[in-house]
Structure 1
Amino acid sequence: MTSADLITTRTMPQILAWRADHMPAALALREKVRGLWRQTTWHDYFERTRAFAIGLHALGFRAGDRLAIAGDDCPEWFLADLAAQMLGGAGLGLYPTNPWPEMQYILRHSRARFVVCGDQEQTDKVLDARRLDGGLPDLEQIITIDRKGMRRYAEPGLTAFETVMQLGRDQAASLGPIVDAALAAGRPDDTAIIVYTSGTTGNPKGAMLSHRNMLHSAGEVARIHGLDAKSYSVLCYLPLCHVAERSFSTVMQLVTGCTVSFAESIDTVVVNLREVAPKGFLGVPRIWEKMQQSIFYRLKDATPLQQRVLARSLALGRGIAERRMANGGRFASLGDRLTYAALWLACFRGLQTFLGLDRVRAGFCGGATVSPEVLLFFWTIGVPVYQIYGMTESAGVCHTQRPGATTLGSSGTKIDGIDERIAADGEMQIRGPSVFKGYLFDDEATARAVHDGWLLTGDIVEIGPTGEMTVLDRKKDILITSGGKNITPSLIENALKDSPFIREAILLGDGRNFLAALIQIDLDTTGQWAQARNIAYTTYPTLAAHEQVYDLIRDEVTRVNERFARVENIRKFVILKKELDHDDGELTATMKVRRKAIEAKFGAEIEQIYGRAG
């Protein structure tokens, strides 16, 4: 059976069963426990998933049910997700950072009867959601993976993950054939997962994605970039409730047969990268930005000679990288290849190893717009990072840069099977096997999102002469000044965030006669800058309020203004006195800015800029 046949004719649990049968002893999962990497083969992966599925069935889980999962990334997340699908149900992820009211909304809206919690913290939030404000009338079972601190818990319907697994083993003789029949009955167009969009406005909506949706998207990325079990391995660290991590770890693993290793936590990603040295790596823009900044943090402690070597290497490497990207990812000349080889030996090899990216043959950046300068930096040091484009409703990826299509700032070309068209207002619209089935219990929202089979992405784009697509901005985020000038906020905001001292920037000016910005400084880099100048501060607010910090950011804004036309210049700005936070409703769970919430919450700062009359 070819890889294409495997992807197009089976469900994800069926592919798991196929891999367990054809490569039983191969390594599938790795998790670090007490300092040692614990390994799981494909055979054990399938058997544990099947046992958990039998246990769920014994507790009453049936086809069409939804299993919610709240917790950090771990093998049990994979097992629970695929076990629900094995029974004809769907897995539904909850962000570990969600407060209980958000968790309650999703559990109540989805009518989930079962929820798997990672630990005591997540269990407590579900218990609060069940007890408060109308509760969770559909919820029957709460299954906890790590029971530490929960010895005295005696709430009804509360059990341990391992207990359900053991129940499955005990009931295998009687219920195993039923579960096996459900596994065999699965069809590619069945709903496999439900992803609640974090939503920059309004309540989140549950996007229903089929096995075909997910496998087509991941399968195309694997085909385009030549990824297989030998050439691809991945570190799982982004929230699995997000479609991107689900696609690049769970689904890509099934497609390629590769190994997935789990990071110990988001804080240990770089350390775990060095240990695992994966061959592929997915990062949202903020991850790539932090990695870039970590190089410059380290540079401050280097000797003057090392600083000069790095500065010179980056200067030479930048030109090579620009020509290489313009040439589709290939070196533009033999001279460039030889010069890069010398730079790699002198400098870039050490940087790649420091970041844990020395074996990466394909890095991917997606989830939001990213500054081209960030991607150029990684190409400069020899780590190819391909920008991808997609959304939850397109199963993660519908466009990707690739060898031969690496124009800086673009998101590449569409994957096979996807049709694209540009509406009169510049909005990208797509259709094809990656487009989702609709929103759970919300036909009205589905009808707004899909017209005659075409998914309205809400992104304003342009197609270049080579067919590569560049995202300009979200349709709803375009600013129109009082003078009638259309402004693309993300271009200016990303230019501001190229500064190591600026963490977040929100452009203002819709209906106004000039542009302004709300700026959140980066506490780490600005703090180091302040310490080097003996500027006293204790917390973010005290640092943000310092006059010299204002002068620093003013210089950064001036530098950015020089890159844009006068009408696109920022004439005033305010440094926010607090860091933007998901818990305060200012950011989505994926760390995207909620613009309307920001404008409402920081009305005093906006009034300071524009005055009452605006």
Structure 2
Amino acid sequence: MAVAPPVGGLADAVFDYAEEDPHRVALGRKDADGRWHDVTAATFRDEVLALAKGLIAHGVRFGDRVALMARTRYEWTLFDFALWTVGAQSVPVYPTSSAEQVFWMLHDAEVSAVMVEHEDHAMTIASVIDRLPQLKRLWQLDSDAVTELVEAGVHIEDEVVHRHRRAVTPDSVATVIYTSGTTGRPKGCVITHASFMFEADTMASRWESVFHSKPGDEAATLLFLPLAHVFGRIVEVTAVRGRVKLGHQPELSAKALMPDLVSFRPTFILAVPYIFEKVFNGARRKAEAEGRVGPFDKAVEVAVKYAEAMEHRAFGTGPGPSAGLRMQHQFFDKVVYKKIRDAMGGRVRHAMSGGSGMERQLGLFFEGAGVTVYEGYGLTESTAAATANPPERTRYGTVGQPLPGTTVHIADDGEVWVYGANIFSGYLGNPQATAAVLHDGWLATGDLGALDEDGYLTITGRKKEILVTSGGKSVSPAGLEERVRAHPLVAQCIVVGNDRPYIAALVTVDQESVDHWLTMQGRPPMNSADLVRDPDLEMEVRRAVVAANTAVSQAESIRTFRILAHQFTEEHGLLTPSLKLKRKAIETAYAVEVDALYP
């Protein structure tokens, strides 16, 4: 079990790394032409030190809060560790945030300086700056802010920076991360250096074996999760503390991501289920276009059976794959599974998934295809993961066991409570909200779940999202929505029915998959208005709904649904930056469509 060190802070790892192994490659950095360049531990240390001097020269002091508003890129990690070096607190802001969201976070956190990525972000800040009298500095990455700061700090002595660094203690605040605000105004989670160090070191010690493609190789991961989200931040911190080569990719989309996976060649990745769904659906579409969908589907069936047999063997409930199944698996490994691994860079054998639930069958498929996906669960308030599947015994369909040093308890009403050194200090300036979730060190997560006989946690829904029909039936929508989304043509699903006579759903479709589906039927492309009335598409979505309903009682089943012309987007305020549904906003925006489901 990892124990947070009694002294020091997060930045110390950068300086210790450079001292002990200066020539080891710590990061990969992509240039404007798309080529990757190695950054050694010593080079990164020197860049952090130089930027820290610049921050001091620009008036950043111990305990100051500095906002970071950018996509996932090298400079974010550089700024994070430079700020921690001088004892400042970083406040991540999603680059897609609206002006009012930005104002609220900067005002609430009393931010004194902001790093933004480009002019659009700068203009967003400018539109609210008259209401932020405490904001004194703004740096723009695409206007060479790093060079500007480094030049400003040239006259600062190294020892000045180190005095700041040595003043940081584990209980110092490292960051204030704002919640995504699915149910109201975002709240600032205060997270200490100790919580980050405990979380990162626990992950690095317990899951170190999965960082590698094979024993003895150099571990490397490509970070494409938003660094404004706690999941992305813990990847960043764990990579530096665990000495894993770290690359950055700014686009959380399969189209932008896949080429960088191939060029960077990570040994493992950390992602959300959306990415694994895209990889799978893309591979199936390609097979169908080449007239090989039959063999592909057979390969999927074999992968799932093989993974289930391996799972049974791991838990002592079966002998493992039969000789015949092993032969089939070996055949498909060459003709199907290897291509999927190659699409992920060729070296990925392990992955971690979080942020939302992954469908069991999808996890089993990737396991059978040679990429073990360890699903976990956590919140911003728990500094990312509170539970995760262990390397030697993964139980698909669950989010694993509590991390070493962390305890999970299921309250009488089914709510998941978590206790450990990774639990946050509270909500910034909001003791009432803090008291509502922290009880003698226990975090009441707001999620509903169950622990099995082996201590594996299954998340069944959110307390605040439970629907109660007019007949008094309580329904957790998350499981139904996840099962409907398993259909390749479905992009999103939101279940409705609160105070209504039955459960219904609004469904959006994946345009890329639909275009491919139409092509395979020999039909021309269709505009969205015609598509939502297409009887064949409706039949496909109905199949997804019927399949989802098999897992619940009749009273909990989706009775009817409506296909929408457009997906829910963050730009329209219907998704959080981490792609979670904003239920109230969606039901308000589509009130007419929801009412039409209940004639």
Residue 151 of structure 1: aligned partner: none
Choose the corresponding residue for 1:162, options 122, 133, 147: 147
SS at match of 1:406: coil
Q: Kindly indicate whether residue 337 of structure 2 is the aligned counterpart of residue 355 of structure 1.
A: no
SS at match of 1:209: strand
Decide whether aligned partners of structure 1 residues 542 and 403 sit closer, same or farther in structure 2, where only a CA change above 3 A counts: same
In 2, distance between residues paired with 1:343 and 1:216? 41
* Structure 1 contact 200–593 (Cα < 8 Å) conserved: yes
Correspondence list, 1:386-397, <5 A: 386-397=374-385
Decide whether aligned partners of structure 1 residues 61 and 348 sit closer, same or farther in structure 2, where only a CA change above 3 A counts: same
Residue 109 of structure 1: aligned partner: 108
Of stretches 403-412 and 581-590 in structure 1, the one that deviates more from structure 2 is: 403-412
Q: Kindly indicate whether residue 196 of structure 2 is the aligned counterpart of residue 214 of structure 1.
A: yes
Residue 298 of structure 1: aligned partner: 286
* Structure 1 contact 67–81 (Cα < 8 Å) conserved: no
Residue 18 of structure 1: aligned partner: 16
Q: Kindly indicate whether residue 341 of structure 2 is the aligned counterpart of residue 345 of structure 1.
A: no
Residue 73 of structure 1: aligned partner: 72
Decide whether aligned partners of structure 1 residues 468 and 172 sit closer, same or farther in structure 2, where only a CA change above 3 A counts: same
Choose the corresponding residue for 2:179, options 197, 209, 213: 197
Decide whether aligned partners of structure 1 residues 5 and 373 sit closer, same or farther in structure 2, where only a CA change above 3 A counts: closer
Correspondence list, 1:8-157, <5 A: 9-33=7-31, 34-130=33-129, 134-147=130-143
1:430-481 superposed Cα distances (whole Å, 9 cap, x missing partner): 1110000111121111111211211000111101111111111111112222
- What amino acid maps onto 2:103 in structure 1? Q
TM-score normalised by length of structure 1: 0.91
TM-score normalised by length of structure 2: 0.93
- What amino acid maps onto 2:306 in structure 1? I
In 2, distance between residues paired with 1:498 and 1:7? 43
Q: Kindly indicate whether residue 404 of structure 2 is the aligned counterpart of residue 453 of structure 1.
A: no
* Structure 1 contact 12–254 (Cα < 8 Å) conserved: no
Residue 156 of structure 2: aligned partner: 172
* Structure 2 contact 359–483 (Cα < 8 Å) conserved: yes
Q: What is the aligned-residue RMSD (CA, Å)? A: 2.2
* Structure 1 contact 32–264 (Cα < 8 Å) conserved: no
Residue 586 of structure 1: aligned partner: 574
Residue 254 of structure 1: aligned partner: 240
Residue 155 of structure 1: aligned partner: none
Residue 265 of structure 1: aligned partner: 251
* Structure 1 contact 247–395 (Cα < 8 Å) conserved: yes
Q: Kindly indicate whether residue 398 of structure 2 is the aligned counterpart of residue 413 of structure 1.
A: no
In 2, distance between residues paired with 1:479 and 1:316? 38
1:325-375 superposed Cα distances (whole Å, 9 cap, x missing partner): 33348982573555533432333112211232x322320110012222221
In 1, distance between residues paired with 2:20 and 2:543? 61
Choose the corresponding residue for 2:165, options 183, 207, 221: 183
* Structure 1 contact 8–216 (Cα < 8 Å) conserved: no
Choose the corresponding residue for 1:491, options 471, 479, 482: 479
Counting matched residue pairs gives 588
SS at match of 1:610: coil
Q: How many Å apart are 1:536 and its aligned residue?
A: 5.0
- What amino acid maps onto 2:155 in structure 1? Q
In 2, distance between residues paired with 1:563 and 1:481? 18
1:218-248 superposed Cα distances (whole Å, 9 cap, x missing partner): 2222222224684531101111011001111
Residue 325 of structure 1: aligned partner: 311
In 2, distance between residues paired with 1:373 and 1:57? 52
* Structure 1 contact 55–171 (Cα < 8 Å) conserved: no
- What amino acid maps onto 1:160 in structure 2? A
In 2, distance between residues paired with 1:542 and 1:579? 15
- What amino acid maps onto 2:591 in structure 1? G
* Structure 2 contact 74–247 (Cα < 8 Å) conserved: no
- What amino acid maps onto 2:19 in structure 1? D
Residue 299 of structure 2: aligned partner: 313
- What amino acid maps onto 1:146 in structure 2? D
1:164-214 superposed Cα distances (whole Å, 9 cap, x missing partner): 01212x2233xx322110111211111111111112111111111111111
SS at match of 2:128: helix
In 2, distance between residues paired with 1:496 and 1:584? 23
- What amino acid maps onto 2:47 in structure 1? R
* Structure 2 contact 483–547 (Cα < 8 Å) conserved: no
Q: How many Å apart are 1:126 and its aligned residue?
A: 1.5
- What amino acid maps onto 2:223 in structure 1? C
Provide the identity percentage.
28
Correspondence list, 1:522-601, <5 A: 522-533=510-521, 535=523, 539-601=527-589
SS at match of 1:390: strand
Decide whether aligned partners of structure 1 residues 17 and 232 sit closer, same or farther in structure 2, where only a CA change above 3 A counts: same
In 1, distance between residues paired with 2:549 and 2:220? 42
